[in-house]
Amino acid sequence: MRYANTKKVLVTGGAGFLGSHLCEKILDQGHEVLCVDNFFTGTRRNIAHLIDNPRFEMMRHDITFPLYVEVDEIYNLACPASPVHYQFDPVQTTKTSVVGAINMLGLAKRVKAKVFQASTSEVYGDPEVHPQPEEYWGRVNPIGFRSCYDEGKRCAETLFFDYYRQHKLPIKVVRIFNTYGPRMHPNDGRVVSNFIVQALKGSDLTIYGDGSQTRSFCYVDDLIDGFLALMETGPEITGPINIGNPGEFTMLQLAELIIEMTNSSSKIVTRPLPPDDPRQRRPDISKAKALLGWEPTVPLRAGLSRTINYFDHYIRN
């Protein structure tokens, strides 16, 4: 039975790292979840604990094809988000961001649903402004190896705001900064999962460049709370809004911390910096604080401890 205040919520990319945590939180709120994923990077393991929940439904589907369902809200998270995965099939990555956005926006328009777009800090490229506010237009190479993801997400934002202006569609756009936590893909090439897996296995930790480039790391629970806070706002708040942790660390600092926390004998080795790799990345979260009352609460060391425990269990099993 569905109660009057129960929503049917579609989460695309719902079997992925972020999507699975979002599905979990929405179910905890008492709503129904339709999880859609093509399992390119998502895994059944991420949602196995949700399958028996009567308010959870799983559908295998690629959002580059239209989807005909009846829902009240849509969270569009579908897209490979790490360079290893989005560069594997760059044309499909662009199609997922652009055609997928068109399909989700079309669905939202038909069923009159509020629709959420998971955008990215990659829209800022290799920034000349630091930290990055939402008003900054970015510095992106349109023809580089990362462009399929960067420009695909930028185009998706364009589509969302054109649907908002042209069709009065209620939209919410979040720009996600580096996020980590349990259920990250162990082979996705992202720095936190890379370092933890390497340290647990006693392998060398690979740093690209001299390790002085910086990132800001947000624990997944904080990020999902930011998603939900934005979705609950009125129609006048559309975003884009940065969601991330403004604490800034160099790659070298992160590697040393993970070696210490895992009590690993791993060494740090360097490799050439990949093309168009941003030198620094840190969110200005003033808007999130002012409009959503949101800011991250989980310190890096505490979040890493939970993530290390997850990967330690994952590797052993």
Residue 149 is a catalytic residue: yes
Number of domains in the chain: 1
Phi, psi of 85, rounded to the nearest 5 degrees? -85, -40
Does residue 232 lie within any of the structural domains?
A: yes
Does residue 29 lie within any of the structural domains?
A: yes
The residues pairing with 33 across neighbouring beta strands, listed in sequence order, are 9, 56
- Give me the catalytic one of 149, 163, 180, 219: 149
Does residue 204 lie within any of the structural domains?
A: no
**pLDDT tens over the chain, length 317 residues:** 445 589 999 999 999 999 999 999 999 999 999 999 999 889 999 999 999 999 999 999 999 999 999 999 999 999 877 677 777 788 989 999 999 999 999 999 999 999 999 999 999 988 899 899 999 998 998 998 888 889 999 999 999 999 999 999 999 999 999 999 999 988 777 889 999 999 999 999 988 888 888 888 999 999 999 999 999 999 999 999 999 999 989 999 999 999 999 999 999 998 887 776 667 788 999 999 999 999 999 999 999 999 999 999 888 77
- Which strand (E) or helix (H) includes residue 75? strand 73-76
State the residue range of the domain holding 157.
Answer: 8-179+218-246+279-297
pLDDT at 186: 82
CA-nearest of 106, 115, 118, 114 to 152 is 118
Rounded to a whole number, what is the largest CA-CA distance in the chain?
Answer: 58
pLDDT at 276: 61
Does residue 146 lie within any of the structural domains?
A: yes
Does residue 61 lie within any of the structural domains?
A: yes
User: Exposed (0-12), middle (13-18) or buried (19+): which is 211, by Cβ within 10 Å?
Assistant: middle
